[in-house]
Amino acid sequence: MLYTLNSNVLTNVDDAAGRWQFEGGKVVEQGVHLADYACTRRVITGGTDALNAAMLTLTLLFRNASGQTADNMTLQGTHSFSTGEALGSVSAATGVFASRIGHRFTWSGGDLGIL
């Protein structure tokens, strides 16, 4: 599975423990908008900041034929601010994507690959 993620919003929120980063946008496959996504990254001061990294949760919300939210897939892993790459695995999924639970993913630039 190979998707292109087109970001529409990226917001940083600092707090006493570190930084939240919220991102959202469209999931495209071969030019077709088939899902939307929501991503959170969490930097912990005194924890992940020394590695210039964050914990990452990415949820893909797929659309049905009438454009409503249907199945979904949640991926969890780490994000490197040094390289811009994320690595992890599919942690939860519904319907046709349930068989992907446990599969590895890579996210670099706008390209998301689920292996």
- Neighbour count for residue 73 (Cβ, 10 Å): 27
Number of domains making up the chain:
1
Domain that holds residue 22: 2-114
- Neighbour count for residue 110 (Cβ, 10 Å): 12
Distance between CA 105 and CA 68 in Å, rounded? Answer: 25
> Looking at residue 68, what is its pLDDT?
79
pLDDT tens for 53-84 read 999 999 999 988 887 788 999 999 999 999 99
Residue at 23: amino acid letter: E
> Looking at residue 99, what is its pLDDT?
97
The stretches in the chain having pLDDT less than 50 are none
